[in-house]
Chains A and B, each alone.
Chain A
Amino acid sequence: MIGRLIELGKLLTPSSIPALETPESLPFDLMRVPGLGHLFRWRYARPLLQAPLLILSVIMILHGFFGPTLAPKNLATTLSWLHFRGLLVLVLLCAGNFFCLACPFMLVRQLARRIFRPRFTWPRVLRNKWLSVGLFILILFTYELFDLWSSPWWTAWLIVAYFLAVLIVDGFFKHASFCKFVCPIGQFNFLASTLSPFEVKVREQDVCTRCHTKDCIRGRREPVSDLVTIRGCELALFQPRKVGNMDCTFCLDCVHACPHDNIGILTRLPASELMTDPIRSGIGYFSRRKDLAALAIVFTFGALLNAFGMVSPVYAVEAWLGRVLHVSHEAPVLGLIFTFFLIVEPVLLIGLAAWLTRVWARSSRALLPLAVRYTYGLVPLGFGMWLAHYCFHFLTGLYTLIPITQSAIAALGRPLLGEPRWALTGLPANVVQVVEIGFLMLGFAGSLAVTYSLAEDDSPGRPLRAFLPWAGVCLILWFASMWLMFQPMEMRATMMSG
């Protein structure tokens, strides 16, 4: 078994991947697809994709505030917690970070920037992921505490709050400060897109070497006035030195700015960017970014925690904690559960694995850098869990959009789409469970491949010794994910009632 895994690891090691630059094996370029390429090259492609999502957001907000108060009959809750999340992870898995490309919040920001010109640069102390890690945890926490899934009103407010946050942050601060340093959805997308098969990257490095204008980062400017007519990358990713999808919103500004048409949306091996540790434009070294590692931890362990919140055992744990601590309010109990899952458990597992790697493989790295380096190997497992969880809701509730739309239109006085067919739900749960297991297996295999690759790179003489502790962590997390998937579901807003 281990021998096969090692073979798999070797197969997935970047050095063993055939060179993609040879004419016979040029990567597939989405920009070369007739029609699609023209659309993406069109300067207004992004607003065109953003506008429908903005209209949908407005409809969701209105329905959340004025529509039915029952979550399964409201567009705000159904579209947010079923369809958006499910589609988001599927698009990330099958293509790339295309949601950020079509992000409706950025369209509003663009319109607002015609009135308010941002003057400030984002504070140096906040130029990292710590704030967004905190916001990511906050969203997971409030989701559980206030049962956002069951409240159209709160869901609508969450969307409004998101729009306001974008306007405030990007109204004051230049560039894409919100996307890079604040947006929790964006951070989720950045990490998940490290596993996507497409990447925005240069086609030929030689062309960039000869380029003197560097428009992809500086933006294209008017010759006389020096005013920017087409902006360069707002997230400080310089294309020739950009590695992977981290921090890339697929906004295509670089594509539009490049005067040589040298940037495409190219295929690559998913997760390959996690297997190496080069210096990355706008990011630096992954292995030196503790904030990014913390984000990867929240992404991975938060996936399990988020799923744990919807199965029966969580209520038993909460009730037990409530009795032991003599508290009846959910917040402190939930706080303890979050502390355990997002701090205690990762510190124990990752700390122990890093220590074992250091001892067994005699790694020269210190404990913390070693832990940071290998933490990224857990991202595929986390994504597998997010996929399994979100696709369960998405696929089992796939058709619910139909009766809710029928009902929303009928509520306006004219049932143009007929009477709501509330019996329409989605795919059978037993069919979806097979898909879920597939995602978990895929995540597990991905994590093993990445950690083995890192082990091989880190300890060329003893890769197996460096790999085994991390394989153990992956196995524990995978078992935990599988166990969660087979638990009876229980979705309650009243956790502490017994």
Chain B
Amino acid sequence: MIQRRLPDPRVFDRVFGWGMAKWLTGLACAATLLMAGCSRPAESLPVVEIEHTISPEPVRVGPATVTLKLADGAGKAITGAHIAIEADMSHPGMSPVFAETQETVPGRYQAHLDFQMAGDWVVLLHVTLPGGKKLERQIDVRGVRPGV
């Protein structure tokens, strides 16, 4: 018969009892503060209106063309912007699709995307304005249909 020496149960109380509860509560509070307090302060961004069209309509699996029109608050076309496009599925873990836009006419930008799977997609626009300011927009592309 093998008799094992038992650890002192009070050690558990000290290490994993109140001490750990306090430690975990502190960790949760610290993490909350970090998330809330250390994020970047909001910048005042210029008013930019973005109109978008995606063809074909309805969108199907395969190549699609995204056309974007950028205008300022007064409706004047914004030229010389750089727009990087990233398309993600609503389900995590799927391959995102990336594209860069070309300015086809002043204020009008176009990119080609390849939707690889049917379902809900989210198109993210990473816009860098001529002055260097950056902004992001999100376009929901729901129900991309299976290819023909």
The answer to whether A72 touches B35 (Cβ under 8 A) is no
Whether a CB of chain B sits under 8 angstroms from the CB of A442 is no
* Contact A492 B15, CB 8 Å, known A78-B93, A150-B90: no
Chain B residue nearest to A312 in the complex (CB) = B146
Alpha-carbon distance A47/B96, docked complex (angstroms): 38
Q: Which of A229, A312, A397 contacts B94 (CB 8 A)?
A: A397
The answer to whether B120 touches A492 (Cβ under 8 A) is yes
The answer to whether B93 touches A393 (Cβ under 8 A) is yes
User: Which residues of B sit under 8 angstroms from A51, Cβ to Cβ?
Assistant: 20
User: Which residues of B sit under 8 angstroms from A261, Cβ to Cβ?
Assistant: 2, 4
Whether a CB of chain B sits under 8 angstroms from the CB of A101 is no
The answer to whether B17 touches A114 (Cβ under 8 A) is yes
Which stretch of A237-245, A282-290, A420-428 is in the interface? A420-428
* Contact A66 B90, CB 8 Å, known A229-B9, A259-B3, A491-B119: no
* B interface, over-half SS: mixed
Alpha-carbon distance A44/B14, docked complex (angstroms): 12
Q: Which of B13, B34, B95, B117 contacts A490 (CB 8 A)?
A: B117
Alpha-carbon distance A353/B94, docked complex (angstroms): 40
Which stretch of A53-61, A132-140, A341-349 is in the interface? A53-61
Q: Which of A59, A72, A220 has most B Cβ within 10 Å?
A: A72
Q: Which B residues, 21 to 42, have Cβ-Cβ distances below 8 Å to chain A? A: 21, 24, 27-28, 31-32, 34-36, 38-40
Alpha-carbon distance A412/B86, docked complex (angstroms): 22
Q: Which of A81, A312, A425 contacts B96 (CB 8 A)?
A: A425
The answer to whether B34 touches A412 (Cβ under 8 A) is yes
Chain B residue nearest to A400 in the complex (CB) = B93
Q: Which of B12, B17, B91, B143 has most A Cβ within 10 Å?
A: B91
Alpha-carbon distance A230/B122, docked complex (angstroms): 53
* Contact A422 B91, CB 8 Å, known A150-B120, A492-B142: no
Alpha-carbon distance A82/B13, docked complex (angstroms): 36
Q: Which of A44, A110, A490 contacts B119 (CB 8 A)?
A: A490
The answer to whether B93 touches A397 (Cβ under 8 A) is yes
Alpha-carbon distance A152/B9, docked complex (angstroms): 40
Name the distance in Å between A492's Cβ and chain B's nearest Cβ: 5
Whether a CB of chain A sits under 8 angstroms from the CB of B45 is no
The answer to whether B38 touches A413 (Cβ under 8 A) is yes
Alpha-carbon distance A423/B97, docked complex (angstroms): 8
The answer to whether A491 touches B117 (Cβ under 8 A) is yes
User: Which residues of A sit under 8 angstroms from B7, Cβ to Cβ?
Assistant: 43-44
Whether a CB of chain B sits under 8 angstroms from the CB of A223 is no
Alpha-carbon distance A494/B57, docked complex (angstroms): 17
Residue total for B at the interface (Cβ-Cβ under 8 A): 48
The answer to whether B143 touches A72 (Cβ under 8 A) is no
Alpha-carbon distance A447/B24, docked complex (angstroms): 44
The answer to whether A43 touches B143 (Cβ under 8 A) is no
Name the distance in Å between A493's Cβ and chain B's nearest Cβ: 5
User: Which residues of A sit under 8 angstroms from B18, Cβ to Cβ?
Assistant: 114
The answer to whether B143 touches A497 (Cβ under 8 A) is yes
Whether a CB of chain B sits under 8 angstroms from the CB of A161 is no
The answer to whether B6 touches A72 (Cβ under 8 A) is no
User: Which residues of B sit under 8 angstroms from A373, Cβ to Cβ?
Assistant: none
Q: Which of A55, A66, A73 contacts B36 (CB 8 A)?
A: A66
Alpha-carbon distance A393/B93, docked complex (angstroms): 6
Whether a CB of chain A sits under 8 angstroms from the CB of B118 is yes
The answer to whether B17 touches A111 (Cβ under 8 A) is yes
User: Which residues of A sit under 8 angstroms from B120, Cβ to Cβ?
Assistant: 150, 491-494
Q: Which A residues, 102 to 149, have Cβ-Cβ distances below 8 Å to chain B? A: 110-111, 114, 147, 149
Given contacts A72-B89, A150-B91, A422-B96, 15 further A-B pairs with CB under 8 A are A58-B24, A71-B90, A71-B91, A72-B88, A82-B92, A111-B21, A114-B18, A149-B91, A396-B93, A425-B94, A425-B96, A489-B117, A490-B118, A492-B118, A494-B142
Identify 24 residue pairs between A and B in the complex whose beta-carbon atoms are under 8 Å apart, listed by A's number: A55-B27, A58-B24, A62-B32, A70-B122, A70-B138, A71-B90, A72-B91, A73-B88, A81-B92, A114-B13, A147-B90, A150-B91, A229-B6, A229-B9, A259-B4, A397-B93, A400-B93, A412-B38, A412-B39, A413-B39, A489-B117, A491-B117, A492-B120, A494-B120
Which residues of B pack against A, CB within 8 Å?
1-4, 6-7, 9, 12-13, 15-18, 20-21, 24, 27-28, 31-32, 34-36, 38-40, 61, 86, 88-96, 98, 117-120, 122, 124, 138, 142-143, 146
Which residues of A pack against B, CB within 8 Å?
41, 43-44, 47, 51, 54-55, 58-59, 62-63, 66-67, 70-74, 77-78, 81-82, 110-111, 114, 147, 149-150, 207, 220, 229-230, 259-261, 310, 312, 393-394, 396-397, 400, 411-413, 422-423, 425-426, 488-494, 497-498
**10 pairs of A and B residues whose beta carbons are closest in the complex:** A397-B93, A490-B118, A491-B119, A150-B90, A78-B92, A491-B91, A72-B92, A261-B2, A82-B93, A72-B88
